[in-house]
Structure 1
């Protein structure tokens, strides 16, 4: 079954559908580095399916250039990645590109979720919103009208329900219904779908009004790990240290062996950002408060001479330790800015999370290679749909489309 991934990001949602046997017709994404990440992942799947993973490992090890690596992959696979912003001005060009990929075939599915900043809880109180972001669902609706897929999946943040007192959510539903679809929605927590993170997302599913389909029954799998178990096989790092490519030297938990290591004996992107002494002192206070008393450090608790912001009445939890004995709080793209909201629980490492640790929290396997500089990679990870959540969604959609009870 073929699908289009709109606002594809680094391909987390697509990864779940690819694992369940769906075939991508097109990935549309405006960010150059994210598009390269998708291409590299498509290359992985192609080489894996053809028993050529050694060639993928050579690329990860830096023994093959990106150009030579992509030359190993058929053009029709990499050409599914369309590096262009979805806008009113670009629609016709995008339709032409997708039409060429479809080559007259009917489309089964459209998936994707526009950038969520416009609907986040914080943005819900900002009067000067980016109208272009807010109404991106209307462009999603244009793809529904053009291609009339049997079903669609639209993912976004819970703030979608409440932004401007629900105005935009009602507009979204009306838009999709006018395009010829019945739809329903649920708020899912990723931790109920094997992801080591408390991350709630709205999943809207629509089906063509002429078809006898409905909202899938997504099978829940409660995650059985903790953050400390998730990280225990990765080497310790100090601030600013990095292991771009490393081989495992420690035993891993059952969860990591099953879902993260993924059969390849190396990992990438174990990169920790540097921190100044003031931040490290604050990190130490935050880790001690959490590990000893399960208390979150507030900005008002930080000595005045150490504070990085003067506000002591709101947004107090700027520094937050990831719960080593439990699950992570929601991973967002802000991790690309400073890391203060994602402090490693091990006081002996005294740093924010590495790129690979953040990817593991999002349930990306260690062989998932992200293209681009560190800041871009953190952004790609923070914005992504966790692949294990995506895979559960794909299973439900697959059963619905194939009439499997």
Structure 2
């Protein structure tokens, strides 16, 4: 703790979704680290303190880095991070195993936890982490943390259960030195007291229609917020940013126009409802899918590659719409090249989900 606030460090900070949740939960995120150039640009544009853009494997003594930002080891209350997950994702059919180079970054996270030994840590990753090497990998990770003196709580959380308009399952591993963390109960959906926040709640009613254009970086809202979720998104915002899409050719536009809400290109091909000249090979039903307005979105990965379609307009999702489905507020900028921003948004931890976990952990830490 420093100056009366709990201090957090964000490793593999990406676009800043985890840091945003920590900040909104009351933590002072004093240091963030990531090696990706575009992640660092986006993080720096949206946060008070720019991240250190450096490969974590090159940081042999993390305490030296803390001293550079005027922090002592004992002042760090929480280390959080989501090591890059391509090697764990079930979408990775080729190198999905514990020897994938990105998986080794989990060991780097463990190394820094052991060196700094904060009172608590949060590690977030894709659900596929649980099944690597038939569960042996995650068991080894938990054993490493336990050997360092932490009591571990791990589980799979669905972002939709906590107010994010997206079905997104992620693994959280939370460790505490002097207590045992308990995950918060779901607030939305069948397990909670509130209905799911839907795609329509997030996207419809206040954003300008693109009407065949590729959008603009800055646009006015077209209406007042239509619901509580939109009011949350628009807090401190007077206009809409980064409402832009990738330009598509006429064949792609025809393909998009043929797909109804809740269906995918694969569905139409299977039912024989697609014109011959529009048929292409697709691996699964998450590609070329039109979102349903009355349900949470499917998982937002790289939504350009997945060709996720707006529920009503015949086009793909804009950067801002995907950011809303990830629960980023409208003031959060994604102002760089569109392809890089599409990937960063899809890789992000939803800020609302990270806030829920961080709030409950903070309360536990303060109680002692």
TM-score (norm 2): 0.89
Distance change >3 Å, CA 138–CA 225, structure 1 → 2: closer
Pick from 171, 179, 182: which aligns with 2:140?
Answer: 171
The structure carrying a bigger helix percent of its residues is 1
- The residue number in structure 2 matching 1:119 is 88
RMSD of aligned residue pairs (Cα, Å): 2.1
- The residue number in structure 1 matching 2:67 is 99
- The residue number in structure 2 matching 1:280 is 253
Post-superposition offset of 1:178: 2.6
Asked if residue 244 in structure 1 is aligned to residue 217 in structure 2, the reply is: yes
Post-superposition offset of 1:174: 2.0
Pick from 307, 310, 316: which aligns with 1:344?
Answer: 310
Aligned to 1:192, what secondary structure does the other structure show? helix
Asked if residue 363 in structure 1 is aligned to residue 333 in structure 2, the reply is: no
Once the two structures are superposed, the pairs formed by residues 70-85 of structure 1 within 5 Å of their partners are: 77-78=49-50, 81-85=51-55
Distance change >3 Å, CA 260–CA 392, structure 1 → 2: same
Distance change >3 Å, CA 376–CA 95, structure 1 → 2: farther
Once the two structures are superposed, the pairs formed by residues 1-400 of structure 1 within 5 Å of their partners are: 1-43=6-48, 77-78=49-50, 81-87=51-57, 90-92=58-60, 95-106=63-74, 107-123=76-92, 126=95, 131-208=100-177, 211=178, 213-222=179-188, 224-231=196-203, 232-287=205-260, 290=261, 294-298=262-266, 299-300=269-270, 301=272, 302-309=274-281, 314-332=283-301, 334-337=302-305, 339-340=306-307, 342-346=308-312, 349-400=313-364
The answer as to whether partners of 2:15 and 2:344 remain within 8 angstroms in 1 is yes
Q: Structure 1, unaligned stretches of length 5 or more?
A: 44-76
- The residue number in structure 1 matching 2:191 is none
**In structure 1, C-alpha distance between the alignment counterparts of 2:223 and 2:127, rounded to whole Å:** 38
Aligned to 1:275, what secondary structure does the other structure show? coil
Post-superposition offset of 1:274: 1.1
Q: Number of aligned pairs?
A: 351
**In structure 1, C-alpha distance between the alignment counterparts of 2:157 and 2:215, rounded to whole Å:** 34
Aligned to 1:286, what secondary structure does the other structure show? coil
- The residue number in structure 2 matching 1:52 is none
Distance change >3 Å, CA 102–CA 336, structure 1 → 2: farther
- The residue number in structure 2 matching 1:70 is none
**In structure 1, C-alpha distance between the alignment counterparts of 2:94 and 2:147, rounded to whole Å:** 29
TM-superposition CA deviations, 1:164-217 (whole Å, max 9, x none): 211221221122223332211111111111111111111110112xx2x11134
Post-superposition offset of 1:125: 6.3
TM-score (norm 1): 0.81
Q: Structure 2, unaligned stretches of length 5 or more?
A: 1-5, 189-194
